[in-house]
Amino acid sequence: TPFILVDCGLGVWQNYIKYIGDQLPPYLYISHNHIDHCGELPILILNGFKNSQPLKIIGHTQVIEMVQKYRLHELSYVGIDLENIAEWKTENEQSIIQIENQLTFELKQSIHSYPCYGFKLKSGDRTILGYGGDSAFDKNLYNFLNDAEILILDGRKTRNKEHASFFELNQYGKEKNRKIYVIHHDHKNLEREHEHLIYLQEGIELKIV
């Protein structure tokens, strides 16, 4: 069973069962309240609760408050106590969430229409994973995440006020001399000539040594 699931947009639970199985990980990180990042949160919460596996849900206070108020409104409306159906973990004054075995999530806000927070996952002094969530091109965010062994950023073929372009991400990868894994919705328009980008596809497995 994986240690953590990062975001849970529509279709995630079906694919999770397909590739991993039906036992949920103990932790779930939510970057923001858009449907393609947490649309299946009610399903996962209810599934975990039904199987005596209540989720430990990690996120910035702003995000968790929005999720509880809007995404989970139906659950609270029918009398489900949101405080007891899951364990909620939010940041301290340094924007750090401490969990088990010296693992920490250090959060930083991205440039997006909804409050959205990327993170770097650290084990002691080792930065294992950097995840930007959704964001317009944001060097401050990327530099914060750049010490991660694996860096995952959001991108699009054409930039807009909420999403960076593949070209911008590739230029950043070139500047830092590193590979960047890219989450995207442009399955038919990938620009393979971007030598510093690896476009994530369904079922791809990333190795952390």
Per residue, what are the HEC states of 46-113?
HHHHHCCCCCEEECCHHHHHHHHHHHCHHHHHCCCCHHHHCEEECCCCCCEEECCCCEEEEEEECCCC
Q: Cα(141)–Cα(204) distance, rounded to whole angstroms?
A: 25
Average pLDDT over every residue of 154-169: 94
By percentage, how much of the chain surpasses pLDDT 90? 76
Question: pLDDT tens for residues 73-113?
Answer: 888 888 888 888 999 999 999 999 999 878 999 999 999 99
Q: Average pLDDT, stretch 167-186?
A: 94
pLDDT at residue 28 is higher than 90:
yes
Residue 209: is its pLDDT beyond 80? no
127 pLDDT tier (thresholds 50, 70, 90): very high
pLDDT at 189: 63
What letters, b where the CB count within 10 A reaches 16 and e where it falls short, cover 140-168?
A: ebbebbbebebbbbbbbeebeebbbbbbb
pLDDT of 191 reads 66
**Position 154 pLDDT exceeds 90:** yes
What is the pLDDT, as a whole number, of residue 49? 83
Rounded to the nearest angstrom, the gap between the alpha carbon of residue 17 and the centroid of all alpha carbons in its chain is: 19
106, 95 contact by CB (below 8 A) = yes
**Residues 182, 198: contact at Cβ < 8 Å?**
yes
Of 20-24, 69-73, 130-134, the range with the highest mean pLDDT is: 130-134
What is the number of alpha carbons within 13 Å of residue 188 lying toward its C-beta?
Answer: 0
Q: Is residue 186 predicted with pLDDT exceeding 90?
A: no
What mean pLDDT, rounded, does the chain reach? 92
Q: For residue 154, give the H/E element and its range.
A: strand 150-156
Q: What is the pLDDT of residue 75?
A: 87
